[in-house]
Amino acid sequence: MAFGWAGSADISSAAKTFTPNMGGQFFAWLLLHGHLQCKTNLLQRRIVEDATCELCAQAEETAEHLLVHCPFAASFWQRLVIQMEPDVAVCNLLHLPKPENLPMAHFDTFSLLSCWHLWKRRNGIVFRQESESDRVL
């Protein structure tokens, strides 16, 4: 699944600077190229039999669903006072209205870092069976 980010100078530069460690940069690369190992990608490779989101069981687990539309992600963005429109796509995360409480100069980096933490939190819940009370990001 492509998100239209490949070739975008804004996203590419944010991905290169958003974290000093390689894990975050690799995550950004996977996200930018549509290779994040969400269940829809795993289903296409016949690694899983079902693409339903593990966190909400309400939709297919795409990168867009996990990072934007899943109730888990929506509550995260809401706590950060970042207004997500219902039709926002992952490729538009760097073009969200920037809240006044965050520095404008680092919002692109902040957006990617937030997505990475959502992904890591999802993995903790799914693979380490972290409890509902552990959902604090």
92 vs 17: which has the higher pLDDT: 92
Which residue, 7, 62, 49, 50, is CA-closest to 32? Answer: 7
pLDDT in tens, 25-64: 888 888 888 889 999 999 999 999 999 999 999 999 999 9
For residue 102, the model assigns a pLDDT of 75
Question: Which residue range forms the structural domain that includes residue 75?
Answer: 9-134
Residue 4 covered by a domain: no
The tokens of 107 are what? 């919002």
Q: How many domains does the chain have?
A: 1
The whole-number pLDDT of residue 5 equals: 38
Helix (H) or strand (E) holding 64: helix 63-64
Residue 54 included in any domain: yes
